[in-house]
Amino acid sequence: MSSDKPNVVCHHCGLPATGAAACEGVVAGGLQRFCCSGCLEVCRVIHDSGLDSFYTRLRTQENTLAPPPDAPSDLDQYDLEEVQHEFVSQLPDGRRSAHLLVEGIHCAACVWLIEKALNNLPGVTRAEVNLARQRLLLEWQPQQVALSAVLRRLAALGYAAVPFDPEVAEGQVQRSNRRLLFRMGFAGFGAMNMMWISIALYAGTFSGIEAEYKQFFHWVGFAIATPVLFYSGGPFLTSGWRGLMLRHLTMDLPIAIGALTTYLYSLWRTLHGGGEVYFDVVTTFIFVILVGRYLEAMARRNAASAALHLMELQPRTALRLDASGQEERIAVRKLAAGDHVLVRPGDKIPADGRVIAGDSHVNEAMLTGESQPLHKTLQARVSAGTVNGEGVLKIQVEQAGSDTVLARIIHLVEVAQGSKARVQRLADRIVPWFVVVTLLLAAATFLFWMRFDFDTALMASTAVLIITCPCALGMSTPMSIVVSTGVAARAGVLIRNGEALEGLSRITHVVFDKTGTLTEGNMRVSRIQVCDTTLDEAQLLTLAGGLERHFTHPLARAIAQEAESRGLHFPAAEQLRAYGGLGVCGTIDGEPLWLGNARLLAQAGVAIPEEIHALRQQVESSMGVAVMLAGRGRVLGAICLEDQLRDGARVLLDSLRAQGMGITILTGDSSRAALHLQQQLGEMRVAAELLPEDKAREIEALQHQGECVLMLGDGVNDAPALARADVSIAMESGTDVSMECSDVVLMGSDLRKLPYAIEIGRQALRTIRQNLLLSLAYNVILIPVAMAAWVTPVLAAIAMPLSSLLVIGNAILIRQRMRRFAETQKVG
């Protein structure tokens, strides 16, 4: 693929790449980059050898994973359709959506500044920043504003953004932390040297020191403090100044004012040769603040490690088999649907697919949370990232790259960790006023103490500027969401967003769809009854399979699979139509056929023979279902199918009842089958013979009674009810429709993950409230203490990051609490 775009440059050497090809090497920032002719061959070698990830890490170590420069020639690349294709989503209404990694976000005021500036930009319809993940969710109208214009606006605010990519994000974080570490080390070196100067001056105060030596030490202190202030403290100064110029105040402004005021006053004292200087205060509190920010960065990274853990599951290379059966080791990204790969014992499976040869056990604990390896034989499905056991497997690839289950899980976790909960609105309303209040309090403190002593006024007002910080308040909610969704993902519970997490904590009533949730959903044909003398069992099953093979309902899959297992060939069916909760109809060889329950046949005007009616009663009394095939104005036969309750279904319902929750089961089956289910599972409300719209109305009725409803389902018929529920949960084995409509997805078949999901929602909301209380208590207690001149600027610098670390530490405790809960519930 060649490019003749005039603004495209080679992302290796920076030279114009006009007429060159798309890069076949490293994909940076989730984008397809371009190479000049000189770099293209090197990239092909790297790409073909599977060394992409090594090259990416090497680039990270060499500090070249920088955000895009401010030069228009580089930012314009993000407007190219071929570039946006890699990281931009098209929304149904024509808008576009992208997740961006933003460098330079470190406090709640930064979040407010970015959101306010971008949301005021014409064409931007949504801009949400997650402080814990340094992520920006951007939605915009491409006809009104270009993506490059948004990036330029961010650059003008002092923030650099790149399209989010997990590997690049990790490199970006490492580079940012390394740069912060260098500044912190330089400030620490300066603070240690200033300590010797301070000791000399302090000792001279008591033992006597000549004025010229005292002045000399002042100038030495100035020489040490100056580079510390402008190098280590440079980000505070530039951020504060840029905020003033843009009329948007950030939390770096109070720190910058405090540092500059103390530094300039000390310099003035040094120039005039008298009084006390505070160069040691400047260097020490800059060092302490940088230590706090570094610890915050490490804690945030630790709290948000779930996505990184999932990324590590994806193997980098695969053994592909060519047409002659020869093995070829290639990069995983080169795999495509239809490829055959060989997986040796102990290797990770590189893509989703089916076993076409071999026999082994596969450990899927990293995806489903279930500890027991699963036996995989011919035609069994396998997932990328799972670990092969003792045998050799030959797999046909069905989904690779971003289409695999693992990739979708990583995407869900990343989106969830970047989302906001409703409770965060309180913090978002407070933060914009925080800087203004801080400056007013510092000014009031200075004016009050100025009447008594200038030095005291300076130190007290500086302490107020430093100690007042909304960072803990801003991180209270996002840190809890990041940790909770990460812990849930490791247990096989995928939570889509912060609002779902918050909703789980308020659940009072749980609604189940029967098939595929409380039952295994693996329907099996147990009996075939033929009523038409012109047909036999095989012919009846062939006709039914022809009608059902294109549908995904458990009954449809069971009938089609039974026909396939008998080696039957499906006839061509036309004019197919599905009736939710009833069955299907269509024509085969020009003859109209109906396949479904008694209500469908009643609509078709077909009478049910007594023998079929008796068969239905017998099957439904044992949790089975009879599906009838009708044509030529009469019933041609019936197919009986059976299902089984999932292990632990009764234990789950007993546990929910013990918590005081209401339980309702919705099913399209007959009242007789529902009664049998109720006898097996205990006291609860059962609604039978429901159509999809009836299920949604049942949910609505419960909500009108004041219940907060959780719905658990897995089929197409559940989609309306899932969409109507306060919180919806789908089983991973369900259909794509039900999973798209759900707020939470349970991987695997362990029903104990349901109370685990509810508990993690409760833990998250409890932790958010605790964090909000901690952050507010910190400011309520320590601001008056600083205004009373009981705290020095150095102690204020120590206290400021402690509030953020307390919030982060409390959020991380969710892991320990959920580990104990999982042990008691035997989850995973």
CATH of the domain at 135: 3.30.70.100
Same structural domain for residues 549 and 604?
yes
DSSP state of 717: G
74 has catalytic annotation: no
Cβ atoms of 718 and 698 within 8 Å: the answer is no
Per-residue pLDDT tens for 92-123?
A: 788 888 888 787 776 666 777 788 788 888 88
Q: How far, in Å, CA of 226 to CA of 440, rounded?
A: 28
819 inside domain: yes
**What pLDDT does 16 receive?**
47
Residue 611 CB neighbours (<10 A): 12
User: Averaging pLDDT over each range in 241-245, 495-499, 534-538, which range is the top one?
Assistant: 534-538
Residue 51 pLDDT > 60, yes or no?
A: no
Per-residue pLDDT tens for 531-570?
A: 888 888 999 999 999 998 888 777 888 898 888 888 888 8
Same structural domain for residues 367 and 481?
no
Per-residue pLDDT tens for 227-236?
A: 988 888 888 8
Q: How far, in Å, CA of 260 to CA of 13, rounded?
A: 40
Q: How far, in Å, CA of 218 to CA of 282, rounded?
A: 13
Same structural domain for residues 175 and 294?
yes
**What pLDDT does 24 receive?**
44
Residue 44: pLDDT band by 50, 70, 90 thresholds?
Answer: very low
H helix or E strand, kind and range, residue 282: helix 279-303
Phi, psi at 227, each rounded to 5°? -65, -30
Per-residue pLDDT tens for 11-24?
A: 444 444 444 454 54
For 257-269, what is the mean pLDDT? 82
Residue 684 belongs to a domain with what CATH number?
3.40.50.1000
Same structural domain for residues 238 and 121?
no
391-405, 483-497, 737-751 — which is least confidently predicted?
Answer: 737-751
**What pLDDT does 522 receive?**
73
What predicted TM-score, i.e. pTM, was given to this entire model?
Answer: 0.63
Residue-range definition of the domain harbouring residue 816? 426-492+763-828
Same structural domain for residues 47 and 87?
no
Same structural domain for residues 599 and 717?
no
DSSP state of 332: G
Residue 3: pLDDT band by 50, 70, 90 thresholds?
Answer: very low
Residue 50 pLDDT > 80, yes or no?
A: no
Choose, from 52, 513, 669, 743, the residue flagged as catalytic: 513
395 inside domain: yes
DSSP letters along 180-210, please?
A: HHHHHHHHHHHHHHHHHHHHHHHHHHHH---
**What pLDDT does 509 receive?**
93
For 331-353, what is the mean pLDDT? 87
Percent over 90 (pLDDT), the chain: 6
Cβ atoms of 395 and 353 within 8 Å: the answer is yes
Same structural domain for residues 503 and 477?
no
Per-residue pLDDT tens for 158-205?
A: 787 877 765 555 666 677 778 888 888 898 888 888 878 777 776 666
516 inside domain: no
Last residue of a domain, one of 105, 138, 164: 164
Residue 587 belongs to a domain with what CATH number?
3.40.1110.10
306-310, 455-459, 483-487 — which is least confidently predicted?
Answer: 306-310
- Answer with the residue of higher pLDDT: 638 or 285: 638
- Answer with the residue of higher pLDDT: 347 or 247: 347
**What pLDDT does 90 receive?**
79
Overall residue count recorded for the chain in this entry: 828
Per-residue pLDDT tens for 669-679?
A: 777 777 777 77
For 716-743, what is the mean pLDDT? 69
Residue 82 pLDDT > 80, yes or no?
A: no
**Structurally, how many domains does the chain consist of?**
7
Rg (CA), the chain: 33
Last residue of a domain, one of 115, 141, 164: 164
